[in-house]
Amino acid sequence: MKLSTKGRYGLRAMLDLAMHSEDENVSINSISERQNISENYLEQLIAKLKKAELVNSTRGAQGGYSLAKPMEEISVGDILRALEGDLNPVDCALINGNSQCSDMDCCVTKSVWKKISDSINDVVDKITLRELCNDSKELEAKNIKTNSGCKL
Amino acid sequence: MKLSTKGRYGLRAMLDLAMHSEDENVSINSISERQNISENYLEQLIAKLKKAELVNSTRGAQGGYSLAKPMEEISVGDILRALEGDLNPVDCALINGNSQCSDMDCCVTKSVWKKISDSINDVVDKITLRELCNDSKELEAKNIKTNSGCKL
DNA sequence: TTAAATCCTAGTAATCTAGTGGGAATAGGG
DNA sequence: CCCTATTCCCACTAGATTACTAGGATTTAA
């Protein structure tokens, strides 16, 4: 029941992007250095974020990435689902929104999985990148170095 | 971000135990047959549940397992944590209750992980085995066969 | 033209999952 | 006392997944 590095690194990368892409494109290389994440691996994570239309890319020299939408329109849920797939604790048609599940009536435990799933999605959908970005700026203002080697 | 079969099978096993252990001990073999879970594997799951003092065991002939506490005192959270370890989405000292985390102030994303963690634990701690058992009995009364081959 | 960048695909070591297998210890019933 | 049903315990493993690494093709600003 753990988030993989995809989700963890990916959220940090998006936050980094949010913090630095206001005036110019941000290269993978620069995120990689600031966040201490392997360049090649980060590339793959950002590819997923691009596919989910959360970031834009510009190829060529002086190219890089930027947010595809305003920060307030990107939720942590959007980011995590793009990277991890759905956030449901079990793969189940009912929970994944398909009411045609043939076992719908017979699985008592499914109600449990659905409640967990709903609560996770509720939480992450309510947090926007804007909020995290503000938190981060606040810490910076206090001269606290953010993400000093911590990989979470 | 998935629950493993440990948690899924284990919860079903506990529910099965709750449903059948009121008058007598329940053998691994009988749970295994009803729930369609490998006997040897189930053994390992129940060992964890025993270690967490959620079930009692009696060795020898006519032996088997029973709940160590009344159903209303066993939460789904107790069961899942016994089987899966903590339910936190990341391993992090702060989230695991150790306020000595050296990165406490510098990780913006940690607030996200903590919120997810809290919401999961809240949900599963509020559901008791008694409730699931009642749900299950209700379905039985309606002559709906429970858990017909569904492994969730 | 060159260098900086994204884009794309394949490989891989290490770890984890979901089991399997077998045997020792225990206890109730005949 | 013996048999059988049962828990208990430990070692092994095929297959999947994770977290990368490697390298080359493509694009574009200067």
Percent above pLDDT 90 for chain A: 77
Per the CB < 8 Å rule, is A106 touching B132?
Answer: no
- The values of phi and psi at residue A66, to 5°, are -150, 165
Residue A103 confidence (pLDDT) above 60: no
Through-space separation of residue B5 CA and nucleotide D13 C1' in angstroms? 18
Residues in B 35-74 with any Cβ partner in A closer than 8 A: none
**Average pLDDT, stretch A140-147?**
72
Nucleotides of strand C under 7 angstroms from a protein beta carbon: 2-10, 17-22, 25-29
Strand blocks (E) in B51-149: 55-58, 64-67
Task: Quote the minimal CA–CA distance from B25 to chain A in Å.
Answer: 23
Q: What is the pLDDT of residues B32-69, one digit of tens each?
A: 999 999 999 999 999 999 999 999 999 999 999 999 99
Could you say which of B76, B85, B116 has the minimum Cβ distance to residue A124?
A: B116
In the prediction, which pLDDT does B141 show?
87
C-alpha A16, offset from chain centre:
12
Q: Are B11 and B79 in contact (CB under 8 A)?
A: yes
Span CA (A152) to C1' (C15), Å = 19
Chain A contact set for B122 (CB, 8 A)? 119
- Tell me the CA–C1' distance in angstroms for A27 and C3: 15
Provide mean pLDDT across the span B126-132.
Answer: 98
pTM (2 d.p.): 0.93
| Domain map (residue ranges) of chain B | 5-146
Chain B neighbors of A78, CB-CB under 8 A = none
CATH for the stretch A5-146: 1.10.10.10
Asked if the Cβ–Cβ distance from B109 to A145 is below 8 Å, we say: no
Interface contact A109-B12, CB threshold 8 A: yes
Which residue type occupies B17? L
When mean pLDDT is compared across A9-18, A33-42, A114-123, B106-115, the lowest value belongs to B106-115
Instruction: Give pLDDT, residue B140.
Output: 85
Mean pLDDT estimate for chain A: 90
pLDDT at position B58: 98
8 A C-beta contact, residue A55 and residue A49: yes
B30-63 b/e with 16+ CB inside 10 Å = b? bbbebeebeeeebeebbebbeeeebbeeeeeeee
Cβ of residue A136 closer than 8 Å to a chain B Cβ = yes
pLDDT at B93: 65
Which among B110, B115, B152 has the least Cβ separation from residue A113? Answer: B152
Distance from CA of A47 to the nearest CA of B (A): 20
